[in-house]
Structure 1
Amino acid sequence: MQIQVVEVGPRDGLQNEKELLSTSDKIRLIEMLAEAGLQRVEASSFVNPRWIPQLADAGEVCKSLPRDSRVTYSALVPNLKGLERARECGLTEVAVFMSASETHNLKNINKSMAETFPILREVAREALALGMRVRGYVSTVFGCPYEGHVPVENSRRVTEELVSMGVYEISIGDTIGVATPLQVHEVFATLVKDVTTERLAGHFHDTRGTGLANVTAALDEGIRVFDSSIGGLGGCPYAPGASGNISTEDLVYMLHGMGYETRIDLEKLTEAGAYIQKLLGRVLPSKVLQASLAQKQEQPKQT
C-alpha cells in the first residue's frame, strides 16, 4: 500500500532554527530531498520576514527549485500578497493555515479564528482561479500551549470551513507534541465522518516521544498522508517548548518495515539528513540518521 510523505523540513523545520542558512544551502537540501524520491516538498513560506526571518529568502529559493515533473513544491501563504509572490515563483501549490484554538491563532497570526476565515477564503478562491492547488493546515488540534485541551468540535469546524473553500487536503497538526495514540484514534475517527480519509493528513511532533506511535494510530484510521521533517528539524516559534516534527528518516524506516511503499530511497534520505546536520552544526533528533552515521563510522576502512 502506498503512503505519501510530505517533506516540510525546508519550511516547518528551518523556520525554528537559530542558524540562518544560505539560499544555496537550502536549494541544495531540497535537491537532495527530491533525489531521494520525495514527491511533495514544502519549500518555504511567504509569511512576513519580520515574523520568520529564517525564511526571508523564500522568493529566491522558490525561483531556483529543481524542476522535476515528479515533484510538487509548495509554500505557506498567509494572504493575497503571499499568494502573488508564490505565483511569481512558478509554484503550482500553496498552503494556508490556522489554529483550532483561539489563543494560538491570535499569537500565531494576530487574528481571531472568525477574522481568519474570510482571509483564507479569499486566498483559496484566488489560488483556485489561477489553477493552483490549495492545502490546509490546522494547528493545535490535540492541545494548545495556552489553552490546554482543544475540543474536537473546534477542529471539525475549521476542517469543514477549509473543505468548503476548495482546499484539497487538510493536515491535522499536533503542534506541541502532546497527542497519544488513543487521542489520535478519537480525533480522526470523528473527522472522517465529515471528510473522507483521502482529504486528511497527519502532522505530528515528537516532543514527548509519541510521534511515530501516533502515525500508526492514524494509519489504523485510514490516513495515508503524513508530514515529516528531514532530521527531525522544526518546532513552532509560537509554541514554547515544542520540539521538532517527526523525522522523515524515522517515518520512512518504520513505514518500509511495516510493508508500506513510499518510493523513497532511505539511504539517499539519510544523506540529506547528514547534509543538513553538518550545516547546522548540531546533532539532529532523527534516530535512523544517527544510527546510519554511527554505522558508517564503525565500518573498517578499505586499504
Structure 2
Amino acid sequence: MRAVGVTEFGGPEALHLVDVPAEPLGPGQVRLRVTAATVNPTDTYSRNGTYAQRDPVKEFPYVPGMDVAGELAEVGPDVEIGIEVGERVMGVVVPTGAHGGYREDLVLPARSIARVPAGASDAAASTLPMNGLTARLALDRMALQPGQVLAVTGAAGAFGGYVVQLAKAEGLTVVADASEADEELVRGLGADVVVRRGDDVAARIREQFPDGVDGLADGSVQDAAVLPAVRDGGAVTTVRGYRGDGQRGLQVHPVLVREYSEEAGALDRLREQVEKGVLTLRVARTFPAADAAEAHRLLEAGGVRGRLVLLF
C-alpha cells in the first residue's frame, strides 16, 4: 500500500514514497480509500522528529498526516454511521507509526469521519477536519457568550481563519491580527477589527480594547507575549501545549485535536457550516503524493495562505 513517510527523521528530503501493509479492519472502524491528504505545520514536526522526543516512535516507516478525504471503502462490525460504502468522506487522523494520513488506504474509528461537504472537492474537504475541529474545541473550551470579545492571532492561517468564522457565527466580536498583505483576507473572514501582527500585537489589541479582551485564540503560538491582551480572569486557548504563567486569574486551555478526534457530530456540523457558507475551505496548491517533500519545503518557507494538499 503506497504511503508517504520517513525511514529516518530529517528535512523535507527525508519524505519519500514507502510501501506499508494494509491495516486490518476491526469493530467500530471504517476503511477509507484516500484521495487527498492535507499538509499541516504539525506534519513537519512529525517528519523532523520533534514529536518523537515526547512520544518515541516505535516503528518505521513513520507516516505523518492528520487530515484526509476520499471514499468510504469498507465498514467494520458494529458500525452505524448512516454513510454508505462508496460515499465521499473526510476524516481526522491521530498519527501512530504508519497510521498517519499520507497513505492511500487508511483505517479510522467510524466516529472520526463525516461526509464531504456538498460541492467541495476531496482536496478542499481534506483541509477541514483537523483545523476545523481544533477551532471548534478552542471555542468550546473558552465558552464565550454572544457580544463578548475574542482576539485571534495567526488569523490568516487555517486554524485562526476557522476560529474567526466560527466565532462570528456565534455572535462574538472578533479582533484579529494580520500583516498588511493579509489584512483584506482576514477582514473577508469576518474580523470586526484588524490589528497589525507582530511582537507588540498585545499592545495593539489593548489600544482597541483598553479593558482587555474576554478571550484569546493564540494561533500564532506567541504564548506569554500575547497574554497582556486578555482581561483579568479571561480565557485563553493555545495550540502547542502552553499553559500560561499562572497570573491574573487567566484560564488557559491547551487544545489538542485528539480530544475531538471521534466527535463525529462536531465534524458533521462543520460540514453543514461549509455548505451554508459559514466556513471557507482554502486550498493553496495540490501536489502528487510523490512530491510531498516539495510541499513541505514550500510550507516551511512560510507565507502559504490556504492549505497544501497531497493527491493520491
Q: TM-score, with normalisation over the residues of structure 1?
A: 0.29
Identify the structure with the greater strand proportion.
2
Greater Rg, structure 1 or structure 2? 2
Q: TM-score if structure 2 supplies the norm length? A: 0.28
